[in-house]
Amino acid sequence: MDYIDWTKEPDVERLRMLVELLANNPAAAVPGLELLAERGSVAACSHLAYFYLEGGPAEFLDINKAKYWYLKAQERGNQEAAYMLGRLHYQAHEYGLAFLSFSKGTKYGYPPAIFNLAGLYKRGEGTEKNLSEYKRLLELASSKKHIVAKRDLAVLLLSGQFGLTAAGRGLLIYFSFLKDTGYILKKAFTPGSTHDERTIT
C-alpha cells in the first residue's frame, strides 16, 4: 500500500475496519470493500486483488477476480497494481496484456514495471524485439535505483553492441553495481570467486 494517495480515499476509517474484518470474516468484509472500491477507493481494489490472489482462504482464491481488481486499481493510476497485473498476465503467457500493464506502470514511473517492460522488448514478447528500447528502459529503471536493471545495463553495454565508449561506461556501471550490492571489489576479482544472483533479485 506504499503507492496509495490516502487523501483521495473516500472513507479511510471504514476501509481499516473492513480490512480488519477481512481476516476473520471475509464473507462479510468483501461486499463492503467492493462498495468502497466502486466509490473510488484504490486501497480497497488493492486489498481485494491481494485477497483473491493469495491473501484469503483457499475457497476464495480466484485469479480472474484478482486480475479484475488490479485492473481497477491500475485504471485509477496505481503503479504497483499495474506491475502486479502485468506479472499475472506474464505468468499466464498473456504477453500482449502484460505489455500493456507494464507500459502503464512505466508511464506511472514504477521501476519494477519499467524493468519488466525492458525484458519484453529484449525477448520480443508482446511486442517486437527492440534492443535500443531495451537499453533505454534499463537506463530509466537504473536511474530510479533498480539494482537488477543496473546490472543488466552494465552487461548490455559491456557486450560491445553500442561501441567501445559505451563498453567503458558499462564497466563503470558494473563497478557501481558491485558497490551497491555490498561486494568488495577485491573479492570480486579474486580467481575462482562466483557471483550468486540470488543476492540481488
**In this predicted structure, what is the pLDDT of residue 180?**
87
- The amino acid that residue 69 corresponds to is W
How long, in residues, is the chain?
201
CA nearest neighbour of 161 among 129, 117, 193? 129
Please, what are the averages of pLDDT over each run of 10 residues along the chain (201 residues)?
A: 84 96 94 96 96 92 97 95 98 98 97 98 98 98 96 96 94 92 57 43 30
> Do residues 67 and 106 both lie within one domain?
no
**In this predicted structure, what is the pLDDT of residue 56?**
87
Q: Long-range contact list for 160-165, CB < 8 A, 24+ apart? A: 161/131, 162/135
**In this predicted structure, what is the pLDDT of residue 124?**
98
> Do residues 61 and 114 both lie within one domain?
no
> Do residues 127 and 153 both lie within one domain?
no
State which residues form the domain around 194.
146-201
Task: Count up the domains in the chain and report the number.
Answer: 3
**In this predicted structure, what is the pLDDT of residue 1?**
64
> Do residues 70 and 87 both lie within one domain?
no
pTM, two decimal places: 0.85
Expressed in angstroms, the distance from the first to the final Cα of the chain is 21
> Do residues 155 and 129 both lie within one domain?
no
> Do residues 59 and 3 both lie within one domain?
yes
**In this predicted structure, what is the pLDDT of residue 197?**
38
Displacement of CA 199 from its chain's centroid (Å): 18
Start-end of H helices in the chain: 12-24, 26-38, 42-50, 63-75, 79-91, 95-107, 111-123, 131-143, 147-158, 164-180, 185-188
Q: Which tens digit of pLDDT belongs to each residue from 46-100?
A: 999 999 999 988 999 999 999 999 999 999 999 999 999 999 999 999 999 999 9
**In this predicted structure, what is the pLDDT of residue 191?**
55
> Do residues 62 and 87 both lie within one domain?
no
Q: The C-alpha cell of 81 is what?
A: 497494481
> Cell 558499462 belongs to which residue?
170
> Do residues 111 and 162 both lie within one domain?
no
Q: How many CB atoms lie within 10 A of CB 53?
A: 18
Q: The C-alpha cell of 162 is what?
A: 553500442
> Do residues 126 and 175 both lie within one domain?
no
> Do residues 125 and 173 both lie within one domain?
no
> Do residues 110 and 126 both lie within one domain?
yes
